[in-house]
Structure formats: structure tokens, C-alpha cells
Amino acid sequence: MKPFFKRRPRINALGASAATAAALLTVTACGGGSGTSGAEGETPSLVIASWGDPFTSATQEHLVAPFVEETGYDVQIVDAPGKFLASLESQKQADNIEWDILDSTSGPDAYIAYDQGLIERMPDDVRDRILKELPESAVTEFGITWSALGYIIACRTEAVEKCPSKTTEFFNSEDFPGSRTSIATSPMVNLSLAEIANGVAVEDLATHEIDLDRAFKTLESIKSEMATFWSSGDQNMQVFETGEADMGISYSGRAYQVDKQGIPMNITWDEGLYNPGFYNVVKGSSNSKEAWEFVEWVATHPEAQAAWGEALGYSVPHPEAFDFVSAEVAETLADFPANRELLGLMNYDWYVENYEEVNTRWQEFLRG
Amino acid sequence: MTVSVQPQPRSGAGAPSVTARSAALHIEKLTKSFGELEVLRSIDLDVHAGEFLTLLGPSGSGKTTLLRIIAGFESATSGSLMLGDVDLGSLPPSERKLGMVFQNYALFPHLTVEQNIAYGLKLRKCRGPKLQARVNEMLEIVGLEKHSRRKPSQLSGGQQQRVALARALAYEPEILLMDEPLGALDRSLRLQMEEEIKRVHRQIGTTVVYVTHDQEEALVLSDRVAIMNEGQFAGLDTPMSLFHRPPNGFVARFFSDSNVLEAQAGDGIVHAYGQSFPHDSPIDGDVELAIRPRSFVIGNHPESGPGLRFTGELEEQHLLGEHVQLHISVPEIGRLVARRNIGDDGRLDVGDSLKLFVPASAVHVMSV
Amino acid sequence: MTHVDSHPQRLKVGRSGPWSAALPMLPAVFMVAPLVIVALLFIVYPLVKLGIDSFTGGSGGFSNYSAVFQSAAIRNSLVSTLLMSAVVTVLCLLLGGSLAWSLSKPGNKILKTLLWTAVLLPFWMGVVVKTYAWAVLLANNGLINSFFMRIGLIDEPMTLLYTPMAVVLGMTYTMLPYAVLAMYPTMAGFDKELLNSASVLGSSNTGAMYRVWLPLVRPGLVAGGAIVFAISIGFYITPVLLGGAQTPFMATVIGDDIFAYFNYPRAAASSVILLVIALTVLIATLKTVGVKALKGGLEK
């Protein structure tokens, strides 16, 4: 696992527009433009935006490679962890759509993107075919769920006396002392977990309207314990590896990775969040048809899904995929029944309505 | 103009041992080595209060090193250095109550002439009207009243030198050190400055230790000259004595441009090159004879009388303004240098055979 | 067939007249044109557009600027950025100044070569690499903490990473070469004999440094400080890597405005504010110490 960040463009006072252009260049370094259409007998090419290794390699190996073999299309993967929405906005503004497919868009982001017209609606015929294989809960208007993960509480067993066994305990820094961390780039995750700690039942979360004042107050109560907020999967792991954080809100997959790499972690799904990722097709892609072909291919190949899920520890939608996954790995997946029933779902509709206020207040909280 | 006598706090000593601003410098057995290289070998020197002493020598003779040791920029390897009854050895330059004029003037470029001169005064707690009066006094002495507000870069070389002099003398140091101060000036300016320095010295009466490689400066300025060669004194006496009665071959050549010949003396007779003449020098055994170029009588004069006679071939003639310098090659001896006035009769051409005669009275006998 | 002239002909050797190094107008314009075009296109135009966007975007007028100052996060950010940059500048002046001074004095050649290498090496490393090296060094299980725990000075690792101190350290490390190179020419050009001169006149060592050395190397110091400050306020990577996502440096909030909140007009306003601050500092420096000192520092 490569422990460094994708190089971020340097923003200085000499032009945010220049910075945006630079950002585009770096994130689409391998992409080089949305795929060409197969119109003149040329091989259609697709560009998938993904999250960097190990995500990218797993996707390449288990999904892209066999798909390319079957179809002969040219498929490239570019890395843009956490930057899907912003980049799509830029591409739209610049009138130059560079991506065709979004890999594992985070739940809240996907809903926003659809609301803003950045991703396509799934064609009905594709949808019908997919529904033959995947359960309804795994298929939305704008894509299939993919790489469902849990936002869970991970804790270094060797660093503290007792690890919190559920979210409510995580927010109790008196009884559970230790330096903490959480995700910087998702206010919804932080606020939802705070509300759970404030007493909202896990099963009610999906329809609960977040009380911002109360939720932020809860977050403030542990802010002083926060060593830092991580903004990428790599940093999520690094913060535990270097010992800066004793416990924190974490991606489930990353937490298990840290544990696998030798730092014993206590991972609790109790009162965590279920976050589906999505495969989306970008609106304005010049290869919309071929892009949905890929999505459909992924939806209908349980073995490929299983191999991918096994590699990364993130959940895949096909019910038969669980048959191909080892029992050990199955336990670490968000869709594993024993885990799934402990997890709550975020209220995406509420978020779409209120995201401006949520984002503003989150920024103030983070840096105010 | 009067020299004001101000009581000065002395570090270490009790009551001041000299009243006028001049002190005696006493150097005993001073040596200085840089690693293996012996630069000064056991120097003994007494500089009398108020005297103008020049350290004269070729480069590498150690004169500048000696001066820098007196100033305090170098420390001696062994030996003692006393100013009056104060041991200078342990004192930093700032506490030695010296004044110094540097070869490149070392004027503070960011200060005006006035401020440069005032620098040392201010450090001695001289303020206000008293300070201004003294500065004006110094300006008058060196003749720079009209330039008081200028910066050094706006002055000519000669003017800068005068500022350096004024600055060094402003606070009435007990000894003034001068390190080849006239080296960078052209000839006419140099002669002018020699006059200035002499006048200032007469007026103020500070003890001066002056370093130069120019024998003419030494002649004009000094009360005594210490001629240095390879870290030792080759001669120490008044300029006239050194000139007319050099103590050894080195001084004879270096200071009075004499010809130096080998000879033997005994019982009042000197034998040289098969000739002999009576002499009242008390020296016996191997001797050296110093003959100044002017002392030769050239031509076929049937001079009788005790002395030396040579015949040689004229190799070179150099016109030096009022006189002509002749290089005559004499067998067994080598080259003799003679000098005669331009008006003297007889035209001489290179290649001519010449007869030279020097009377015994003009031959100076030196021990080897 | 030859014919004889009554008067001899002048030899024509091309254009008569002395050779001149000055270019005639037309070739000169052509030679400079590419540079001017590039400068206009890639520097002037984006900056002008940035300024225009800041006034026309969003609700227009000064609304974006007031948005900047109304947001507590951005306000704090601006203050932190300026304060920390000031601290970095002071540290760079002190450290860089003594380094530049040591390098300008005559001394052991080998030692000086080593020193120069140490100063210039960071220049040739990418900013991400060297900043990350600091992250590794300062981490709870990093070299520094391990060392102090090993020798028993502390029981628990100290929190060094994700603190303002870490950011200041990393930035000072990155900016030190700039500071040294900006100050070196002035110090190298300083006549050391002046210090001897001051000494003989009665000045203590510190006094001489204060009264003689400082005023004369001041242009270099001011230039160095201006350069370090102007660059520091725009830092992005080091504050993020060493200070964490919550460290409020202006570039981070501008980045947020662009990538997370799509508030380009406010981002433009923030950028213009930073630009104006940097320009003010540089122009003020130019006025105080003159173009030569500033150029000396930037040329390296």
C-alpha cells in the first residue's frame, strides 16, 4: 500500500482558476479526455474515476481486465479520491467531460450529484436487466450500489485501556480517554453519528432530520480530543499507524487493513453507519451506452464481484457473491447480516435539501 | 589647538602612568607562529612616548602581523606586550585605547564623515555639545570642515584617508597604528598625505606605529625606523643613521639602495678584491662594505687617495629625471649601481668601458 | 577589361560604422515578444480574470469580500496564515541569517561546502517529499518520539504532528534556502575589516554587529524576509500534511471553497486578498531597500 497522497496542486494567491486547471490536469493525468465513441469503427474507450490503490488495482484486476477481454473496449482508470463532485463541477463548467464512470461514489455525494444533474439516470432497459440479478435495494435511479462500507469505530487495543464498544461510547471522552480522529470530508457521517450518540435509534436514522445545533454541540464536546481529521483512505490508515490517533471514526475496510498489517484494532459495527457506494455514469459522457454496459457487466458477474470484495473488504451487491467469499472476509463486509443489522443509514434526502447549510457549518466547525 | 587631557578609566591598572595622550609601548620576546610557520621571531621593541616609529620591510617580513598583534586582531604565540603599565595581551582590541588607520580606510559607509569621526567618541560617553566641538576640531585639523555631512562614497581617496585619520585620533588614543595607509594613493597625493600626517603628528603628539614597505615614507615621517626581515629586526635606528650607516647588508640594500661587497678587515685595514685601504672601523674579520650609488666617481679621473677602483662595462642606463642610474658589470664582483647627475659631462653609451673610484670615506664597513 | 579610375574606389565592407551591442528596435521587439505574450497570457490574464471574478461572481460587488470576512473559518484562517508566516519569517531570518553570515566568512573550505550542501539540498527535493519526511519524523511513533522515549526522557509520545509547531517547522525548513540565498550576497559583500575598525574604536563585539553590521546587511535581511513572507502565506501542502485537515491556512480554505463548496467567487476574493497582501509586502520592501537587494535574492 503506497503511503503517500496523490500530489495535490499547490493553491497560492496567484489564481484559483489556474489552480482549478492544474487540479484538472493532475486528476485526469492518465485520463486524457473522455473516451472516444466507437462511431468510426474505433475501439470505444472509457474512463473510470476511482480512489487510488488498492482500490484501483483491485478494480483493474477483477473487473476491468475481464470486461476488456470480453468486449475489447479500452478502459482506463484515473485516481481522484474524494474529488468526484468538485471535479465533475469543474468539468461541467469547462464544458469538457473527461470521465465516463464513477467508481464507488460515496452515498451522500451520489445523491447530491444526481440532484445537480451531474450523473445520468439509468436507462430503463438496463435497469430491468440488472434487477433480474440484483435485489431492489441495490439498484437506484442513478446506479447500482457498490463497495458498501461501514463507518465504524476503530480503536488501537494497545493504545488505550478500554475501547468503545459502540458509537455512543466513542463520544464519551471521559470514560473512554484517548486521542481521536474522524473523517474531514463528510459532515453527514459526523453529524449522523453524533445524533446516534444523542439517542436517535439506529433504525430511525434514515428518516431522521438532524438537529444541527445539538449534533454540533456533541461534536464540539470531543473536538479537543481530535488529533486530526483524515481526508483520504491512506491518511485514515496512517493516522492509526503512526500513533497520532488511538481511536476514531473510520472506513471499515481501512480499519481491517491496519489490523492486518500488524496493529491490533478493535472494530465495532455497533451503531455505525452503512454507506453504499455507487457505480454512476457521468452525464455528458460521450460513451453513455458503453458505460452502462460496464455497469451492467459488473452487476451481473457475482464471481468477479466476490474477488473484488475479497481483495478490498468492501461489500458487493450480488447475493450470490457471498458464496465465493471466504468466511473470514465475509465477516468484515458491511452487508454481512450480523454487521448490517447494527448499522444505520444516513438520511440522504434531508442532506440534499440542506447541504449548503450543513457544509457551511461544518467548515466553521472544522476550522472556526 | 590644544590637546585636552581627560582622565580615562583604565581597566586593570591604578593611576594613569602617562599624562599626555601618548604612551610607551614595550614589547618583549614576542613571537608568532602559524602552525609550523614562524612569522615573528622574538621581537624586542621599545616605542617611546610621542615617537613616530615605522615598521619597514618587504612583504612577508612580519610587519603587518606585528601591527595586528599590537592592535589585538591576532594574539602572540609568546612574549609580552605592554602599553605603559597595562598588559595588553589579555585585552580585546576595544579595550586597548588604540587608534588605527587601515589600508583601505574601513570607513563606515552608512555614516557621514561627522558620524564616522564621532563613533569612537560616542563609545566613550562623549555627548552633546562636547561631542560636536571635538568633531569640529578634528574636521578642522584634517581640513574637511566643508564635507562633514558627506558619506565616504562621496569623497576622494585622499579625503577618505583624512577622515580615517580624524576618526582614529578623535578620542585621543594612546597609540595610533597605521597599516600602509598611503598604499592606494597616487604619488602626488601620497606626498601630500605624508605632509599631512607629519603635521598632525607634530600637532597632536600621539605615539605612532606606522607600517609600510615604502622606504621613502619611512624616511620622511619617522623618528625611528625598525627594518624587518623574515620576522626579525634587521635594523632599528633613526632614518639618517640607517641610511648613512646601515648596520648590515640587508638594511644597506633595502633602505639605502647600496651596493654591498665582501671584504676582510684587520688592524685598521680593509682588503677587498686585491685592493686595500685604511679604515677606522673597529670590526675585524669578514666584513661587508656598503657603497651608495652616489659615492662613485666615474671616469678617467686620476684620483689618488685611499679607496677602491674598478673597471667595468656599462650594461644599462636609466634616466630618472634629474639623475641617471648606471648598471656596470665588473668582473669578479658582478653588478655595481652608480648614479650621476644628468648634467655631468661625458656621454656614456651602453658597452662603454668605465672606470669607477670610491673614496675610503664613502665606504661603510659592516659586520657580517 | 580593366579600366583605370581617376579616383580610387572606397572599399565597401557592408554597413559602415562601429559595431554596436544595442539592438535596433524591430529585432528587439521580436525577441522579446514571445516572453511578453506568455507573460500576458499566463500571468496577467488569469490574475485580471481572478480580480474580475471576485467582483462579478456570486452577488457581485464587495459581497464576496464581505463573505470572506463573515466566515469565522476564513477569518481565523487569514489571521493564522499571517501569524504563522510571520513566525516562519522571523525564524528564517534568524537561522538563515546566521547561516548566511557563517558562509560569507572565510573559513574551512570543506566545512563550507558541507554547509552549502545542507542549505541547498532541500531546494532540489520536491516539497511533498520533504514535508512528508517531517511527518514521519514527528509522528507519535516517529524518530523524535522514539528517541526521547528510548533515552527515558518521556513516557508517552509527545504530540508533535498536526500541530501549528509542526507546520512552522516544515515551512521554515522549506523556506530556509530562500532566506539564505537572499541574504548571502549582502553579507558576502560586507567588508569584514569594518568590524575590526569598530573594535579598535572601542566597540564590543555585539555593539559592532549592531551598529555596523546590521545597518549594512539590512537590505539583504529585508529582502529575505519579504520573499519568505510572500511565499509562506500561499503555502498549501505543508500546512495540510503537517497540520492536518483542520489547520486553517488560507490556501486550504480556498481549496475548500473550490473543491467542496463550489464557491468560486469567494475563493477568488480570498485569493485576491492574499495577492494584495503579498504585493504590498514586496512593494514596501522595494521602496525600503531598492531593487538590487530584492533581485539578488530572487535571482538565485
B3 pLDDT band, cuts 50/70/90, is very low
Q: What average pLDDT score do residues B228-240 get? A: 92
Whether C255 has its CB under 8 Å from any CB of chain A: the answer is yes
Mean pLDDT lowest among A306-315, B106-115, B232-241: A306-315
Residue of C nearest to B119 (CA): C201
| B232-237/B364-367 β-pairing | unpaired
Do the two chains C and B touch, given a threshold of 8 Å on CB pairs and at least 3 pairs?
yes
* For A159, nearest residue in chain C (alpha carbons): C156
Residues 162-181 of C with CB under 8 A from B: none
Mean pLDDT for B302-311 is: 82
DSSP calls for A93-145: HTT----SEEEEEEHHHHHHHHHTT-BPPPPHHHHHHHHTTS-GGGEETTEEE
Q: What is the pLDDT of residue B2?
A: 37
Range in B91-95, C17-21, C70-74 the model is least confident about:
C17-21
Dist CA B287 CA B277 (whole Å):
14
What is the amino acid identity at position B274? G
C-alpha cell at B82: 605592554
Give the confidence band of B21 by pLDDT, cuts at 50, 70, 90: low
Best of C192, C200, C211, C217 to disrupt the B interface (most B CBs within 10 Å) is: C200
- Strand order of the β-sheet with B86-87 is B37-47, B25-34, B78-83, B86-87
Q: Which residues of A touch C (CB under 8 A)?
A: 4-5, 7-8, 10-20, 23, 83, 85-86, 89, 179, 184-185, 226-231, 241-244, 359-360, 363-364, 366-368
Number of H helices, E strands in chain C: 15, 0
Q: C-alpha angle A171/A176/A179, rounded to 5°?
A: 80
Residues B38 and B209 sit within 8 Å (Cβ to Cβ): no
Going by the DSSP 8-state scheme, the letter that residue A8 receives in this structure is P
A85: nearest Cα among C39, C258, B294, B252: C258
Give the pLDDT confidence score for residue A3 in this predicted structure: 37
Please write the tens of the pLDDT for every residue from C82-137.
999 999 999 999 999 999 999 998 888 999 999 999 888 888 888 888 888 998 89
Chain B residues within an 8 Å CB radius of C212:
108
- Concatenated DSSP letters for A68-90? HHHH--EEEEEE-TT-HHHHHHH
Of C74, C65, C78, C70, the C-alpha closest to C233 is: C78
Q: Where are the domains of chain C?
A: 38-299
Query: How close B312 gets to chain C, by Cα (Å)?
Result: 52
Average pLDDT over residues B212-223: 91
Mark the ranges of chain A whose per-residue pLDDT is less than 50: 1-33, 35-39
Q: What pLDDT, on a 0 to 100 scale, did the predictor assign at position B17?
A: 32
**pLDDT (tens digit per residue) in C256-276:** 888 777 788 888 999 999 999
Q: What pTM was estimated for this model as a whole?
A: 0.76
The model's pLDDT over B308-365, given as tens digits with 9 standing for 90+, comes to 888 889 998 888 888 888 898 888 888 999 988 887 777 788 888 888 888 888 899 9
| pLDDT tier, C11 (very low <50, low <70, confident <90, very high otherwise) | low
Percent of chain B with pLDDT over 70: 92
Contact A63, A93 (CB under 8 A): no
- Please state, in angstroms and rounded to a whole number, the distance separating the CA atoms of residues C66 and C64: 5
Residue C250: all three cell numbers together: 488560507
- A226 contacts on C by Cβ (under 8 Å): 246
Chain B contact for C106 (CB, 8 A cutoff): no
Mean of pLDDT values over B169-186:
89
Protein fold of A13-147+276-325: D-Maltodextrin-Binding Protein; domain 2 (3.40.190)
Average pLDDT, integer, range B163-183: 91
Outline which parts of chain A fall under CATH 3.40.190.10.
13-147+276-325, 149-275+342-367
Q: Quick check: B148 pLDDT over 50? A: yes
Q: What pLDDT score does A32 carry?
A: 41
CATH among 3.40.50.720, 3.30.530.20, 3.20.20.70, 3.40.190.10 for A149-275+342-367? 3.40.190.10
Q: What is the pLDDT of residue B202?
A: 87
The pLDDT assigned to A234 comes to 85
By mean pLDDT, which of B41-45, B151-155, C10-14, C92-96 is the weakest?
Answer: C10-14
Q: Is the peptide bond before A123 cis (omega within 30 degrees of 0)?
A: no
- What are the tens digits of pLDDT across the range C48-68? 988 888 888 777 778 888 888
Q: What is the pLDDT of residue A329?
A: 84
Average pLDDT over residues C169-174: 93
Residue A8: the pLDDT is 38
| Long-range own/partner contacts, residues B118-125 (CB < 8 A, 24 or more apart) | B118/B170, B119/B167, B119/C198, B119/C201, B119/C203, B119/C211, B120/B167, B120/B168, B120/B170, B120/B171, B120/C201, B120/C202, B121/B170, B121/B171, B123/B171, B123/C201, B123/C202, B123/C203, B123/C207, B124/B8, B124/B171, B124/C202
Nearest to C175 by CA among C238, C251, C132, C240: C238
Q: Which CATH superfamily is domain C38-299 in?
A: MetI-like (1.10.3720.10)
| A-proximal residues of C, 126-185, CB under 8 Å | 127-128, 132, 135-136, 139-142, 157, 159, 161-162
